[in-house]
Amino acid sequence: MSTPDEPHPKRWRWRLEWLCQTALEKLIGWLPGPLVFHLGALLGRLAWHFLPQRRKTVLRNLRIAFCGEHDLPTLRRMARDTFQRTGANLFSAARTARLAPAQLGSVIHIENLELLEQALAGGKGVVLLLSHMGNWELLSRLVHLFPPGTRTGAFYRPLNNPLLDAVVLQRRQADGTRMFSKRDSPHLVAGFLRDGGVVGILADQRVGVAGEVVRFFGRLTRASPLPCLLARRAKSSVLALSLTTVAAGRWSARFVAMGDSKTTDGCMMTLEQAMQRGPLDVFWLQERWKVYIEQGFTIGDWLGPQTLGSGKPHRALVWLTDAPPGWCLPETWLHPQVIYEAVLEPGQTLPAWLPQATRVHTAPRGAARATLRKLIAAMDLAAVLPIDYLIASGTPQELAQACRSECIPLVSLTP
């Protein structure tokens, strides 16, 4: 930790954050677990009202994950309940972080520990697929409930605040977990697995172009190939772990086994099964199915040429109200997993390069941001799945601002 070279304002901010976090944990530590859980749920309910952008993100995630399973009113209720459950879990984490190992059994129960015992019996270690689910800070403390002598490791991403980072790292190591960073050689981690260790990896995190194209909850996206690579290299077993709330301040963990096919796609399918056990406990506040595209990096580059069979398609709005005469969508932006919808001004004719069955929306040319925002929101809700991105021939300022307000990426294909 090298703080002296940092500007004074940043060092003071780090100290203030550390002080607030320490004081909060001590205060919460004096309160009963159920009360802390309910206070966190109250904070989550308040966040629902004051964080409209996050509301949109959560609802978009739920619409993708549970398309065809729930109607929109149900998904909206789930989004609201997700805020409350997330607040309760995050607030509770400040209390469980300080619990003595002997007290952990009173707040968390592992339903099928025998599945881990069977996997460890193979002698090649276990790759444990984790997700941001439930009170996930408890995951680093589960070693106290594992079979005696179990060695555990986990990948660790340092916090931005080095003072808090040192505290968290010390706690996790004190629980007996060996921490690996992304800079550590895969050979080192594979050796830990071959010696019979358990390595936990948060596999639900969003990744960029370095990820592998997989299907997650039926939707093409990218995921880290690291769990699969480690399992193959060490010939380890692979398990996923769910963490669900069973009562205020109490959680249940359950292992899910993966089949013999050690692929990234298989890892994500197994993780999905674990997450399906408690949808409200999943941290949906990050846009999991974000598409990383821009003018020089097309949807074909992001999704790859393969289609991996049928699934939940992407939706793209092609904004044509301000397009110059003769403009058309470049062929490189066409992909079989994308449904294209056109936005025309009233009276404008659908161009010949789009199929006649294309869904058409209307928007006036040069509309104000507030008008565009309402229109885009209505277009988004016109189908079960949300709009994933919008393509325009230029970048009108009002349109760009409206897209940002609705959390929808805008790709400008300006020549």
**In a domain? residue 69:** yes
CA 94 – CA 92 distance, rounded (Å): 5
Task: Please indicate, yes or no, whether residues 197 and 328 belong to a single structural domain of this protein.
Answer: no
Q: Write down the pLDDT at residue 164.
A: 75
CA 149 – CA 140 distance, rounded (Å): 16
Report the amino acid identity of residue 262.
K
CA 289 – CA 280 distance, rounded (Å): 18
Q: Write down the pLDDT at residue 8.
A: 67
Which tens digits make up the pLDDT trace of 80-124? 999 999 999 999 998 998 888 899 999 999 999 999 999 999 899
Locus of tokens 């001590």? 26
| Cβ–Cβ < 8 Å for 307, 314 | no
CA 414 – CA 270 distance, rounded (Å): 42
Alpha-carbon dihedral sign for residues 57, 60, 62, 64: negative
Task: Please indicate, yes or no, whether residues 90 and 165 belong to a single structural domain of this protein.
Answer: yes
Q: Choose one of 227, 246, 281: the last residue of a domain.
A: 281
CA 287 – CA 58 distance, rounded (Å): 7
**In a domain? residue 242:** yes
Task: Please indicate, yes or no, whether residues 88 and 230 belong to a single structural domain of this protein.
Answer: yes
Q: How many CB atoms lie within 10 A of CB 152?
A: 23
Degrees, nearest 5: CA angle 222-227-233:
130
257 φ, ψ to 5°? -85, 145
**By mean pLDDT, which of 152-156, 345-349, 397-401 is the weakest?**
152-156
Which tens digits make up the pLDDT trace of 26-75? 777 788 999 999 999 999 999 999 999 999 999 999 999 999 899 999 99
| Residue 362: Cβ-neighbour burial (10 angstroms; 0-12, 13-18, 19+) | middle
Locus of tokens 């629980």? 175
Q: Choose one of 231, 253, 281: the last residue of a domain.
A: 281
Structure tokens at 242: 């769910």
Give the rounded percent of residues in the chain with a pLDDT score beyond 90.
70
**In a domain? residue 80:** yes
3 state SS of 243: strand
Domain that holds residue 79: 8-281
**In a domain? residue 396:** yes
Strand bridging mode 152-155 / 126-130? unpaired
Structure tokens at 391: 């393509």
Degrees, nearest 5: CA angle 251-242-309:
155
Nearest Cα residue to 130 out of 282, 355, 305, 279: 282
Per DSSP, the residues of 156-174 read: -PPPSSHHHHHHHHHHHHH
Q: Write down the pLDDT at residue 3.
A: 52
Task: Please indicate, yes or no, whether residues 74 and 219 belong to a single structural domain of this protein.
Answer: yes
Q: Write down the pLDDT at residue 133.
A: 96
Task: Please indicate, yes or no, whether residues 133 and 90 belong to a single structural domain of this protein.
Answer: yes
Residue 25 has pLDDT above 80, yes or no: no
Task: Please indicate, yes or no, whether residues 100 and 214 belong to a single structural domain of this protein.
Answer: yes
Task: State the DSSP H helix or E strand holding residue 220, giving kind and residue range, or none if neither.
Answer: strand 219-223
CATH of the domain at 361: 3.40.50
| Cβ–Cβ < 8 Å for 106, 144 | no
| Residue 309: Cβ-neighbour burial (10 angstroms; 0-12, 13-18, 19+) | exposed
Report the amino acid identity of residue 170.
Q
Q: Report which of residues 350 and 3 the model is more confident about.
A: 350
**In a domain? residue 292:** no
Report the amino acid identity of residue 381.
L
Task: Please indicate, yes or no, whether residues 255 and 383 belong to a single structural domain of this protein.
Answer: no
Which tens digits make up the pLDDT trace of 156-205? 877 777 887 787 777 777 777 888 877 788 889 999 999 999 999 999 98
pLDDT tier at 1 (50, 70, 90 boundaries)? very low
**In a domain? residue 120:** yes
Which tens digits make up the pLDDT trace of 288-319? 999 999 988 999 999 987 665 668 999 999 99
Q: Write down the pLDDT at residue 414.
A: 76
Q: Report which of residues 11 and 214 the model is more confident about.
A: 214
Q: Write down the pLDDT at residue 391.
A: 95
Residue 250 has pLDDT above 70, yes or no: yes
Q: Choose one of 281, 311, 330: the last residue of a domain.
A: 281
**In a domain? residue 287:** no
**By mean pLDDT, which of 7-21, 231-245, 365-379 is the weakest?**
7-21
3 state SS of 347: coil
Task: Please indicate, yes or no, whether residues 310 and 227 belong to a single structural domain of this protein.
Answer: no
Alpha-carbon dihedral sign for residues 78, 82, 88, 89: positive
Which tens digits make up the pLDDT trace of 376-403? 999 999 999 999 999 999 888 899 999 9
Q: Write down the pLDDT at residue 2.
A: 45
| Cβ–Cβ < 8 Å for 339, 391 | no
Which tens digits make up the pLDDT trace of 133-152? 999 888 888 989 999 989 99
Task: Please indicate, yes or no, whether residues 253 and 208 belong to a single structural domain of this protein.
Answer: yes
Structure tokens at 290: 């974000």
Task: State the DSSP H helix or E strand holding residue 250, giving kind and residue range, or none if neither.
Answer: strand 250-257
Structure tokens at 165: 């980072």
Locus of tokens 């550390």? 18
Report the amino acid identity of residue 334.
L
Q: Write down the pLDDT at residue 278.
A: 96
CA 192 – CA 196 distance, rounded (Å): 7
Task: Please indicate, yes or no, whether residues 160 and 19 belong to a single structural domain of this protein.
Answer: yes
pLDDT tier at 325 (50, 70, 90 boundaries)? confident
Locus of tokens 């809700």? 381
Provide CB contacts within 8 A for 344, sequence distance 6+.
320, 321, 350, 360, 361, 362, 363
pLDDT tier at 13 (50, 70, 90 boundaries)? confident
CA 61 – CA 312 distance, rounded (Å): 13
**In a domain? residue 289:** no
The mean pLDDT value of the chain amounts to 90
Number of domains in the chain: 2
| Cβ–Cβ < 8 Å for 136, 243 | yes
Locus of tokens 């003071």? 12
| Cβ–Cβ < 8 Å for 402, 372 | yes
Task: Please indicate, yes or no, whether residues 246 and 207 belong to a single structural domain of this protein.
Answer: yes
| Cβ–Cβ < 8 Å for 150, 198 | yes
Task: Please indicate, yes or no, whether residues 305 and 340 belong to a single structural domain of this protein.
Answer: yes
